[in-house]
């Protein structure tokens, strides 16, 4: 294989930019609007509530309700933990990585030691992450249709959509 072939095989185009929307993708909104707002939510394909975020120059998309108990992630702060960007659920402060949907937590080395020494651990993927594509100033989401169950799937039903909509707090002003 020539070095040119190697280059073309190993360098893939950025996932957030393309010349035409992927076949199974769904239009979310204008890039400028989402960048300005920082986040938006949408019922995608009539079946899935998705949170789309723009953070530090990148788009992310994930199930809108938290895998723990259905918390409204669209009202969560974004913070870095152990070098990973996470959304912090406003309900019980669970931390979910933006890129993978992993639940992060702090474990304790020895509960009797003073001071306590903690370290970050992953519970694995808990929140379903979807793919975002940006095309000519428009943002599209392709739903992650993996058949493997992910905990956040539980809250993608009409029941939770109705019940949790009523319980949502008012959005915080942007800082």
What is the binding site for ligand FES (CB under 6 A)? Answer: 66, 68-71, 89, 91-92, 94
Residue 69 or 135: the one with the smaller Cβ distance to ligand FES is 69
Q: Whole-number minimum distance, CB 26 to ligand FES, in Å? A: 25
Q: Whole-number minimum distance, CB 113 to ligand FES, in Å? A: 27
Instruction: Cis check for the bond before 115: say yes or no (omega within 30 of 0).
Output: yes
Residue 69 or 154: the one with the smaller Cβ distance to ligand FES is 69
Q: Whole-number minimum distance, CB 73 to ligand FES, in Å? A: 7
Residue 25 or 127: the one with the smaller Cβ distance to ligand FES is 127
- Write the CA distances from 72 to 16, 77, 93, 122, integer angstroms: 25, 11, 11, 21
Q: Whole-number minimum distance, CB 74 to ligand FES, in Å? A: 12
The span from the CA of 111 to the CA of 53, in Å, is: 37
Q: Measuring CA to CA, which residue among 134, 132, 141, 129 is closest to residue 25?
A: 141
Q: Measuring CA to CA, which residue among 75, 106, 70 is closest to residue 88?
A: 75
């Amino acid at each position: 294989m020539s070095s040119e072939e190697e280059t073309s095989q190993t360098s893939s185009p950025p996932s957030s930019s393309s010349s035409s929307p992927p076949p199974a993708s769904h239009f979310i909104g204008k890039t400028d609007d989402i960048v300005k707002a920082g986040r938006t939510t949408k019922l995608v394909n009539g079946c899935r509530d998705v949170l789309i975020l723009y953070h530090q120059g990148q788009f992310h998309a994930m199930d809108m309700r938290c895998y723990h108990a259905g918390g409204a992630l669209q009202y969560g702060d974004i913070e870095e933990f152990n070098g990973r960007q996470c959304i912090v659920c406003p309900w019980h402060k669970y931390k979910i990585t933006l890129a993978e949907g992993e639940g992060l937590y702090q474990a304790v080395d020895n509960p009797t030691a003073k001071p306590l020494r903690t370290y970050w651990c992953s519970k694995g993927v808990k929140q379903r992450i979807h793919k975002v594509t940006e095309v000519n100033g428009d943002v599209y989401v392709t739903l992650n249709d993996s058949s493997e169950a992910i905990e956040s799937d539980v809250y993608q039903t009409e029941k939770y959509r109705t019940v949790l909509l009523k319980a949502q707090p008012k959005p915080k002003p942007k800082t």
